[in-house]
Amino acid sequence: MKAKEGVVNVLNKILTADLTAINQYFVHAKMCENWGYERLHHKVRERSVAEMKDADELIGHILYL
């Protein structure tokens, strides 16, 4: 499938934001773990995993185009 001009560029920008969010959530989860905030660590880590799933789906869409 051929994407309209610029669509892949926009999707790549969104992917960049998702990958950045994954890194930020992961680092903050580790910080919470280090500080002894176990419940917060697990919640933030869950958010990181959710972002990974979103990024995986987006990558599939980009590769399809």
Q: What's the confidence (pLDDT) of residue 25?
A: 97
Q: What's the confidence (pLDDT) of residue 46?
A: 96
Backbone φ and ψ for 6, nearest 5 degrees, come out as 95, -15
Q: 2 in a domain, yes or no? A: no
Q: 53 in a domain, yes or no? A: yes
Q: What's the confidence (pLDDT) of residue 1?
A: 67
Number of domains in the chain: 1
* pLDDT, one tens digit for every residue, the chain (65 residues): 677 878 999 999 999 999 999 999 999 999 999 999 999 999 999 999 999 999 999 999 999 98
For residue 20, the enclosing domain spans: 7-64
Q: What's the confidence (pLDDT) of residue 5?
A: 77
Q: Which ranges of the chain would DSSP assign to H, the alpha helix?
A: 7-35, 38-64
What CATH number is associated with residue 40? 1.20.1260.10
Q: 1 in a domain, yes or no? A: no
Q: 20 in a domain, yes or no? A: yes
